[in-house]
């Protein structure tokens, strides 16, 4: 890892200063190589230096090595790197540095926005050390380093960050500037946003220090006056800061994962002693006073913050009441969403199971222009994200053991996905099971078997803030965004086809997925030809498909008609749909009803899911032909008929499956092994 740094523009020029360095690729005690830091002076008002380009990326295909084979830096690397930065006496001033992975972080995406990291009370600027490699591909990263002996006031820090933000806005006026702030750094980010409402900012606030006056830190300043240096590090509050109550989640070493706690503790404690250099008593007292000032300053200006904001709150934060503070900020800020992490502590950025890049993607907060483009701003799945998607549906997939069939060009149906084309653009058009049960097994199953990544056109409800406020878990729909779902609009459909994607389309939409009792496997398609002419414009292949099995896992107990009879349900119904984009406004009949509502079901002993992809329908070379409304309508009805035929085929053939019931499948696996493919009917 290398880094270039610049002194702030708010001070007189100084001679370049080099912090202690170690050559890249020379690890110590089997830890990852520590960073090499360099600094160049800059005069007042001079723009900071441009970051060096990252090295080309290595192959990261999902079929390759898993994320477990590439370990991220952990707590030990953080402590040792922080110690190296703080080894020499340095009275300041604060400066920016850019981290670059010594093994090659890969090329940044074109038009990558700038990300400025504002650290917590440690001030080192290495809080994102576990995330440097991924974030450096998404952003042009700069981290703020405040030397141990520096005494720059909160107001001066705001001015310094503010100048950098304005410089970035001048350099790339059409791109947002990201401010990732941790505790006191979050206060700086909010203050900058309040003072610069005309700049396109995206704030990522990690356990923000705006709740200082309600926290244990209130009493820490008085306690520190009574504790001699360096024994202040043994106070319970600072131990919570250092170990965050989640010690085991901070991977301390590069050795195997099966270490005993004693081994982990023994390996980490020598490094923790170096924190006396990073957090001497005098510095902590200064930082506590700054945090008190910062909290008061920002809380009086929250009404002025217009920036897009994401608050990340740890449920086990023993320093700050972060969960309650996130809810308060969500109600106080105009454009704010929150994500709760129930099992994480104050130093969540250093914990092993947290991934900041994935969190930003899942919340829909990654963009490279003024407005989010769900197609061009989408970043490919990582192995970790793909594994997360598989784990999300692991129970459902185990219980239903999906069977996938496809149709070859000659019309023969075979088990497996040999009949699917391998190049786009392709439009997969089919039946939407109750509550979308088929989505996870379908998308992950196709991706795992063929490497084809399907992008779904989804209901706007999955992307709205109002839906997050109603649901118990605001992150309930994050996985859909991570997997590449986009709001269903003609523009997004056009962009996906133009980039030759595989597009998943359900013409029946929410009405089909939230159907009433007795309506299983009934299509609710509009009369308009919709997708046919768009597909023909790009020569896309249309593949009709059917999916059955919802009636083998549950029965509908209360549908929409039943819910309407319940007292006060109309209040919930209004909240669910008040901010949603209205779909099918030009349609008639039942298909026009695309409102969202819950469905109450009763489970059954699981049966099996079945998918069959019909014979591919080519539109290449038929654009002129399909401009004719009658011919387009004829093809549209043909696709609909094929979907219905696929459903009827599966409903009939599943009766021949001796392993339709989970009980029979469990017996088969007990006899042949859990990894054995379970047979099904003969296609």
What are the pLDDT digits (tens) for 244-266?
444 445 554 444 444 444 554 55
Please state the pTM of the whole predicted model.
0.85
For 69-103, the pLDDT digits (tens) are 456 777 778 877 887 877 766 777 899 998 865 33
Rounded Cα distance between 680 and 668, Å, is 12
Report yes or no: 559 and 518 within 8 Å, Cβ to Cβ.
no
Report yes or no: 311 and 120 within 8 Å, Cβ to Cβ.
no
Give the pLDDT band (50/70/90) at residue 227: low
For 125-159, the pLDDT digits (tens) are 999 999 999 999 999 999 999 988 889 999 999 99
**pLDDT recorded at residue 282:** 79
Report yes or no: 130 and 84 within 8 Å, Cβ to Cβ.
no
| Mean pLDDT to the nearest integer, 440-446 | 96
121 Cβ contact list (under 8 Å, min separation 6): 183, 184, 241, 279, 284, 287, 288, 291
Say yes or no to pLDDT of 31 above 50. no
Rounded Cα distance between 145 and 142, Å, is 10
**pLDDT recorded at residue 470:** 84
Eight-state DSSP code of residue 296: H
**pLDDT recorded at residue 16:** 28
| Mean pLDDT to the nearest integer, 281-309 | 91
Say yes or no to pLDDT of 390 above 60. yes
Q: Pick the residue with more confidence: 230 or 665?
A: 665
651 Cβ contact list (under 8 Å, min separation 6): 521, 548
Phi, psi of 571 (to 5 degrees): -70, -45
Angle at alpha carbon of residue 217, lines to 216 and 223, rounded to 5°: 100
Q: Pick the residue with more confidence: 159 or 283?
A: 159
Give the pLDDT band (50/70/90) at residue 60: very low
What distances in angstroms separate CA 7 from CA 100, 123, 322, 506, one per listed residue? Answer: 18, 15, 32, 55
**pLDDT recorded at residue 582:** 59
Average pLDDT, the chain: 82
What distances in angstroms separate CA 634 from CA 221, 476, 587, 631, 655, one per listed residue? Answer: 77, 39, 19, 5, 32
229 Cβ contact list (under 8 Å, min separation 6): 276, 280, 281, 282
**pLDDT recorded at residue 148:** 84
Domain 73-362 has CATH 3.40.190.10: no
**pLDDT recorded at residue 100:** 63
Bridge pairing between strands 610-613 and 403-407: parallel
Say yes or no to pLDDT of 28 above 50. no
Give the pLDDT band (50/70/90) at residue 464: confident
**pLDDT recorded at residue 581:** 58
617 in helix, strand or coil? Answer: strand
**pLDDT recorded at residue 517:** 94
**pLDDT recorded at residue 11:** 33
Say yes or no to pLDDT of 36 above 60. no
Q: Pick the residue with more confidence: 493 or 269?
A: 493
Say yes or no to pLDDT of 40 above 60. no
Q: Where in the chain is the domain with CATH 3.40.50.1820?
A: 73-362
Lowest mean pLDDT among 230-239, 339-348, 585-594: 230-239
Rounded Cα distance between 8 and 97, Å, is 11
For tokens 């009493």, name the residue: 219
**pLDDT recorded at residue 335:** 94
């Amino acid at each position: 890892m290398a880094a270039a740094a610049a002194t702030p523009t708010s001070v007189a020029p100084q001679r370049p200063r080099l912090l202690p360095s170690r050559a890249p690729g020379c690890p110590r005690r089997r830890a990852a190589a520590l960073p090499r830091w360099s600094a160049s002076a800059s005069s007042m008002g001079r723009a900071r230096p441009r970051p060096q380009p990252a090295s080309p990326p290595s192959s990261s295909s999902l079929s390759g090595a898993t994320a477990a084979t590439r370990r991220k830096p952990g707590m030990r690397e953080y402590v040792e790197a922080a110690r190296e930065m703080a080894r020499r006496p340095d009275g300041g001033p604060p400066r920016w540095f850019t981290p670059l992975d010594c093994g090659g972080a890969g090329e940044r995406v074109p038009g990558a926005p700038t990300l400025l990291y504002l650290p917590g009370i440690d001030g080192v600027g290495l809080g994102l050390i576990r995330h440097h490699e991924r974030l450096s591909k998404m952003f042009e990263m700069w981290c703020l380093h405040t030397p141990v002996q520096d005494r720059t006031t909160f107001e001066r820090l705001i001015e310094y960050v503010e100048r950098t933000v304005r410089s970035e806005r001048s350099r790339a006026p059409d791109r947002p500037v990201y401010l990732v702030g941790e505790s006191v750094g979050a206060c700086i980010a909010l203050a900058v946003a309040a003072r610069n409402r005309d700049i396109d900012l995206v704030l990522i606030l990690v356990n923000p220090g705006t709740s200082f006056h309600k926290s244990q830190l209130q009493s820490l300043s008085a306690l520190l006056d009574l504790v001699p240096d360096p024994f202040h590090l043994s106070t319970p509050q600072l131990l919570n800061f250092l170990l965050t109550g989640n010690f085991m989640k901070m991977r301390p070493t590069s050795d195997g994962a099966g270490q005993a706690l004693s081994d982990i503790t023994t390996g980490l404690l020598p490094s923790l002693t170096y924190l006396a250099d990073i957090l001497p008593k005098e510095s902590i007292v200064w930082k506590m006073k700054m945090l008190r000032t910062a909290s008061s300053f920002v809380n009086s200006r929250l009404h002025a913050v217009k920036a897009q904001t994401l608050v990340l709150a740890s449920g086990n934060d023993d320093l700050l009441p972060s969960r309650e503070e996130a809810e308060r900020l969500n109600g106080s800020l105009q454009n704010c969403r929150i994500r709760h992490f129930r099992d994480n502590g104050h130093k969540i950025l250093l914990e092993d199971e947290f991934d900041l890049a994935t969190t930003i993607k899942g919340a829909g907060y990654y963009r490279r222009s003024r407005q989010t483009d769900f197609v061009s701003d989408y970043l490919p799945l990582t192995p970790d994200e793909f594994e997360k998607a598989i784990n999300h549906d692991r129970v459902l997939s185990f219980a239903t053991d999906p069977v996938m069939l496809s149709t070859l060009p000659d019309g023969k149906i075979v088990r497996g996905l040999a009949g699917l084309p391998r190049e786009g653009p392709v439009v997969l058009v089919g039946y939407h099971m109750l509550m979308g049960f088929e989505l996870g097994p379908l998308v992950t199953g196709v991706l795992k078997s063929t490497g084809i990544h399907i992008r779904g056109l989804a209901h706007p409800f999955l992307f709205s803030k109002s839906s997050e406020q109603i649901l118990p878990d605001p992150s309930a729909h994050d996985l859909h965004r991570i997997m590449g779902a986009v709001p269903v609009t003609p523009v997004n459909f056009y962009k996906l086809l133009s980039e030759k994607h595989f597009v998943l389309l359900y013409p029946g939409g929410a009405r089909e997925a939230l159907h009433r009792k007795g309506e299983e496997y009934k299509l609710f398609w509009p009369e308009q030809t919709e997708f046919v002419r768009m597909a023909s414009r790009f020569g896309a292949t249309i593949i009709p498909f059917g999916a059955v099995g919802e009636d083998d896992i549950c029965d509908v107990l209360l549908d929409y008609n039943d819910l309407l009879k319940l007292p006060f349900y109309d209040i919930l119904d209004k909240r669910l749909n008040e901010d949603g984009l209205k779909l099918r406004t030009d349609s008639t009949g039942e298909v026009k009803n695309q409102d969202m509502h819950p469905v109450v079901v009763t489970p059954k002993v699981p049966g099996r899911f079945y998918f069959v992809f019909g014979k591919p329908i080519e539109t290449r070379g038929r654009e002129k032909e399909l401009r004719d409304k009658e011919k387009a309508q004829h093809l549209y009805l043909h696709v609909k008929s094929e979907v219905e035929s696929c459903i009827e085929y599966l409903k009939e053939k599943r009766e021949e499956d001796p392993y339709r019931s989970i009980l029979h499948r469990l017996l088969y696996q007990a006899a042949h092994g859990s990894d054995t493919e379970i047979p099904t009917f003969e296609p």
